[in-house]
């Protein structure tokens, strides 16, 4: 890997880079590399990162109400009966 130095970075730009890197959970170096690769069209595409939902219609989805009802029922069944465990 080649090491490069960027001179003439204004304080506002340096601060914005630090802030953006922190928000994204990256180092400033990694943020700059990502930005350069993206701008030059060299950003690598992640393999197998696509999410599919084409079978959802066959299986359906729970509404928020249905989910809460099912979650509540499961929670009731998970309670330990003290009389059995004495």
Mean pLDDT of 51-77: 84
- Tell me what percent of the residues of the chain surpass a pLDDT of 90: 55
- The CB density around residue 70, as the number of other CB atoms within 10 Å, is 11
- Rounded CA gap, 42 and 16, in Å? 23
Say whether pTM exceeds 0.75: no
Which pLDDT score, from 0 to 100, does residue 11 have?
96
50 or 16, which is more confident? 16
Give the model's confidence band at 63: pLDDT under 50 very low, under 70 low, under 90 confident, else very high: confident
Chain centroid to CA 85: how far? 42
Q: HSE, CB side, 13 Å, CA atoms: give it for residue 25.
A: 0
pLDDT band at 51 (very low <50, low <70, confident <90, very high): confident
Tell which residue, 34, 33, 47, 24, has the closest CA to residue 4.
33
């Amino acid at each position: 890997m080649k090491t490069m130095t960027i001179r003439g970075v204004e304080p506002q730009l340096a601060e914005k880079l630090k802030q953006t890197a922190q928000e994204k959970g990256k180092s400033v170096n990694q943020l700059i590399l990502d930005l350069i690769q993206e701008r030059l069209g060299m950003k690598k595409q992640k393999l197998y990162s696509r999410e599919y939902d084409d079978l959802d219609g066959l299986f359906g989805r729970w509404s928020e109400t249905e989910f809460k009802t099912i979650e509540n029922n499961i929670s009731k069944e998970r309670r330990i009966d003290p009389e059995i465990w004495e």
